[in-house]
Amino acid sequence: MTRKHARIPLAVFLLMLLAPFEVRAQDVDCSDPVTQMEMTYCAEQDWQAADRELNAAYGRAMAAMKRMDADLADSPTLAGAADALRNAQRAWIPYRDAACAAYGFQARGGTMEPMLIYQCRADLTGQRTRELDDLASGLGN
C-alpha cells in the first residue's frame, strides 16, 4: 500500500471516532440535555430564540417611536425618538457581547465557556426585550 493510500483508512477511522460527538438538532432534547455539547447547543438555541423575540420587540418599540416623531413633526426640536432608540440599541449590542464575554471567564478555556456566554446573552437579551416592550407600551403601543 502506498503512503498516500495508507492515510485513507486513518482518516476514515478518525471520522468514525468523531461522528458520535457531533450534535445534531434532531438528536438533542433541550428539556434534558446530558452532555456539555448538548447543554451548549441548547443555550445557543435559547439565545437565538431570545434574539428573535428581541427583534420583534425592537420593531414594536421603533414603530412607537416613529409615531411619536410624527406627532412631534410640528416641533422638530422635540423629535428624534426613533434616532434615540436606534442609537441606544446600537450601543446595547456591544455592551451585551462584552458583558457576556467577561461572564464567560468563569470557565475560560473550558468546555463550559461557550455555554456561559450563550446563557448570558439569552438572559441580557430577554431583559432588553422586556425594556423595549415596556417602552412601546408606555408610548401607547
Looking at the domain assignment, is residue 51 inside a domain?
no
Helices (H), the chain: 3-18, 36-71, 81-104, 113-138
pLDDT at 47 over 70: yes
Looking at the domain assignment, is residue 49 inside a domain?
no
What is the spatial distance between Cα 11 and Cα 103, in angstroms, rounded to a whole number? 38
Looking at the domain assignment, is residue 82 inside a domain?
yes
Res 123: pLDDT: 99
Looking at the domain assignment, is residue 107 inside a domain?
yes
What is the spatial distance between Cα 41 and Cα 33, in angstroms, rounded to a whole number? 9
Res 19: pLDDT: 47
What is the spatial distance between Cα 38 and Cα 35, in angstroms, rounded to a whole number? 5
Looking at the domain assignment, is residue 88 inside a domain?
yes
Q: What is the mean pLDDT of the chain?
A: 88
pTM check: above 0.95: no
Residue 61 CB partners (closer than 8 Å, separation 6+): 85, 132, 133, 135, 136, 139, 141
Percent of the chain topping pLDDT 70: 80
Looking at the domain assignment, is residue 90 inside a domain?
yes
2-16 pLDDT, tens per residue?
Answer: 566 656 665 555 555
- Alpha carbons within 13 angstroms on the beta-carbon side of residue 76 total 0
Higher pLDDT, 74 or 109: 109
CA 78 from centre of chain: 34
Percent of the chain topping pLDDT 90: 74
Q: Give me the domain span that covers residue 72.
A: 57-141
Res 77: pLDDT: 87
Q: Give the number of domains in the chain.
A: 1
Res 62: pLDDT: 98
Looking at the domain assignment, is residue 10 inside a domain?
no
CA 116 to each of CA 5, 73, 80, 111, 130: distance values in angstroms, whole numbers, following the listed order: 43, 45, 37, 10, 21
Looking at the domain assignment, is residue 137 inside a domain?
yes
Mean pLDDT across 65-79:
91
Length of the chain: 141
Residue 21 CB partners (closer than 8 Å, separation 6+): 37
Higher pLDDT, 24 or 88: 88
pLDDT at 127 over 90: yes
Q: Scanning the structure block, which residue is given the C-alpha cell 460527538?
A: 21
